[in-house]
Amino acid sequence: MYYSITSSCIREIKAGQAPATFGGSASLRSNSVSEIAKKPSRDTRPRRVTPTAALSSSQTPNVAPIVSCRSDRAYRLNKPVIRQKMRAFFNLQATREFCAFYSISFPAGISDDDAYRLFNLWQTRCRSSYSLKSFIWVAERQKNGTIHFHLLTNTKMPIKAVNEFMATALRPYYHLYGLKVPQGKGYNGVDVDNVWYPKRRKPGQATQRRTRHDAARHVSQYITKYVSKNNETFKRLAWHQSRDIAALFTCQNFDPDECDPLLSYFHATKNNWKKYETEYVTVYMHPNCYDLTPWLQLCKLNEQVYSVFNSS
């Protein structure tokens, strides 16, 4: 679902009210912005109760493979929404300070249901230990048939610690699947790539922070590689986002009388815009949208929305 905002919505938010399009729910029109974070989820489906207490390295509980209860459902990536939500998340001030992709992989042969269970346990440990709150993740199937996950977040988590979290969760599964227990450095299936300070850099640039334009391009390339080409069908959720990201606006609608200034600016700078033309439509894209007033206005509004969910 696309989340759009009109000028009337902006006036409502400035007045301390949540517009109908905020978070995609018309029932929030009469609520104050501060009440939105307290609104309970409307999802009333029965859920499997799974122990999520943190396990120490010495605890190895007996587990059995999960029998999927959703075999009749199929989930796919909502690619347009994922792309727009990732870009809206990337442009937040908190994300400009730190932003990273975490890749979570499992030993070959782990079933999809067990992979989802392990991923859920891993997220629980990350939330309790490092306050993981803002994130968006997508599932992907590797060439060996085993599922793995890509998670974008602005929460900084030590790579050694998050690998240990997954190693602890995986320990009882090695015997279950007849897998060889890792020796030496142990499990190393969680990888991290900092958007601002990526690992793959030219010599001498390892300590240089990327510009906003280069970082945004890196996010776009990541989305293209792992989202746009992902046409898999899953029996469980193919992607998920935290509530604060779900509430971010991704586009803005204008009244007819509000379009005149934009059209005047467009005609004055038309030669600087990138042109994409087909048989049926011609699209112009601004080379640097960060300077556009509507874009800045949308980013400012998302900062207010994000602060509702993350205020201390």
Residue 12 main-chain phi, psi, to 5 deg: -65, -40
Contact 249, 5 (CB under 8 A): yes
The pLDDT, as a whole number, for residue 6 is 44
Residues 107-145 have pLDDT tens digits of 888 899 999 999 999 999 999 999 999 999 999 998 889
Binned at pLDDT 50, 70 and 90, residue 65 comes out as low
Contact 310, 94 (CB under 8 A): yes
Binned at pLDDT 50, 70 and 90, residue 309 comes out as very high
Q: Which two tokens stand for residue 89?
A: 């998340």
Q: State the pTM of this model.
A: 0.73
Distance CA 227, CA 246 (A): 17
The pLDDT mean for the chain works out to 77
Residues 178-207 have pLDDT tens digits of 777 666 556 788 999 999 888 766 666 666
Which domains are delineated in the chain? 64-247 (3.30.70.1910)
Binned at pLDDT 50, 70 and 90, residue 101 comes out as very high
Q: Which two tokens stand for residue 1?
A: 């679902």
Kindly state the average pLDDT of the residues 207-230.
81
